[in-house]
Amino acid sequence: MSSLFEVDFAQPEGFRPLSLDLRTPESAGAPLIVFLHGGGWLRGSRKVFTPGIGVGRSFDLIVAAGFAIASCEYRLSGEARFPAQLDDVDAALEWLRNHAADYGVDASRPVLWGVSAGATLAALTGLGRRDVRGVVDWFGPADLFTMAEHDMGDPPEKTREARWIGGPAAEHPEIARRASPAYQVHAGAPPFHLAHGTADEHVPFSQSEALAEALRGVGADVDFHTVAGGKHFWQGLDDPSTVFDAAIDFCSRVTHSQGD
């Protein structure tokens, strides 16, 4: 039987406390997955893995595979702009590094798993740290310049990305580059598992294609899982276990590599 712990991991000055839900399996020493939810940096909840897919088919499935998973909050764009969210992810990782062992969890080899906007945060964090064993990036925006060309009917200054970085990418090019995983790729990047549906109307499939190409260009380990006809948040996918199984297999491989 798994256990669930709800804890506050940070209190940014002038902001609300930030919390995480830590789910652990029965066995001690479980490797850690740190999960970051989607919602365009505008909304979302650590309680929801993917809209339309319940706890039993997401969080519980991962714990049943032998992992602990910490689903972490971060400040939304109405509260704070980039890079505050990366600071929040770092704070969660720091708390877990210092306290996870108290819950029987091995936080020494974390994998970051993000969905949509959370996948962008996972990718940026994984590319910015040396202690991350791998990144699972599900349909995350990778290039804010080309995302700005994707017309969702919003004025340029009101897109999700513009609200996050403080304005259109063309008007804030340096910030947009720093917030775009495709521009932050470097030699020595951790392994990546990318999964994206070819019919995603919110984040074009080409976003993950661009990130995969950039990662392969520096010799990174890239596992690119294409979901034919898949939509955003896997809407309409008859059996989501196929995408979960592929990601869990990746997590198992990277957490048990390097002599572990």
Residues 168-224: tens digit of each pLDDT: 999 999 999 999 999 999 999 999 999 999 999 999 999 999 999 999 999 999 999
Residue 94 lies in a domain: yes
* Tokens encoding 178: 């720093």
CATH code of the domain containing 133: 3.40.50.1820
Sign (positive or negative) of CA dihedral 167, 145, 111, 227:
positive
Residue 133 lies in a domain: yes
Residue 203 lies in a domain: yes
Share of the chain above pLDDT 90, in %: 94
Mean pLDDT of 142-157: 92
Mean pLDDT of 142-156: 92
pLDDT of residue 37: 98
Residue 260 lies in a domain: no
Helices (H), 107-239: 117-128, 144-147, 160-165, 173-178, 181-184, 205-217
Predicted confidence (pLDDT) per residue in 71-91, tens digit: 999 999 999 999 999 999 999
Nearest-angstrom CA–CA distance, 86 and 39: 16
pTM above 0.95, yes or no: yes
How many domains in the chain? 1
Residue 20 lies in a domain: yes
Strands (E), the chain: 3-10, 18-24, 30-36, 68-72, 105-115, 134-138, 192-197, 222-227
Residue 98 lies in a domain: yes
Query: CB of 199 within 8 A of CB of 138?
Result: no
Residue 185 lies in a domain: yes
Residue 125 structural domain: 3-255
Residue 126 lies in a domain: yes
pLDDT of residue 260: 52
pLDDT of residue 238: 87
